[in-house]
Amino acid sequence: MAETANFDLAATGEPDGATLHRLGEEECLRLIAPGGVGRVAFGGADGPVILPVNYRVVDGAIVFRTRAGGVMDRDLRTGVRNVDIKIAFEVDEIDPVREEGWSVLVQGPFHQVTADEVRWTADVPVRPWAGGDRDLYVRVTPTRVTGRRVGPA
């Protein structure tokens, strides 16, 4: 069952009675299942990094493509077999006119799909918007999924 919290935002000029609902994992996964645009967040070599990516959900995992040799490849490659760095992946949908929306946060290991797994990528219909080669497939297997929805009371 979703938890709710009411906030009186009148002092800040925001709408009275906005309600924050915590979403369960099943609802979060349902919201992100269609794919679209999400944000990858991680601690990079030069500090915190947040990058948008086009993603799909495949077999319960977040899948996207990035550039080999790019910042994610450089900063998130461990070089150690079966050791992946944990990252955050966020998707949201906001309606500023109705003052409501939702946000889902997925945390899990950033796994660069290896040459042994390449056949798996042939069936993944994820197409990046950004130009240039995006031939490095990445899979994030959720280990923690949280979310919330906000709107009028």
CATH number where 75 lies: 2.30.110.10
The reported pTM is 0.80
In a domain, 9, yes or no: no
Residue-wise pLDDT for 42-55, tens only, equals 999 999 999 999 99
In a domain, 106, yes or no: yes
In a domain, 53, yes or no: yes
Residue-wise pLDDT for 82-120, tens only, equals 788 999 999 999 998 888 999 999 999 998 877 677 666
Task: Please write down the HEC assignment for all residues of 47-79.
Answer: EEEEEEEEEEEECCEEEEEECCCCHHHHHHCCC
Residue 5's pLDDT is 47
In a domain, 83, yes or no: yes
Count: domains in the chain: 1
Q: Which residues are paired to 55 by β-bridges?
A: 36, 64
Burial of 120 (0-12, 13-18, 19+ CB in 10 A): middle
In a domain, 102, yes or no: yes
Boundaries of domain holding 30: 24-151
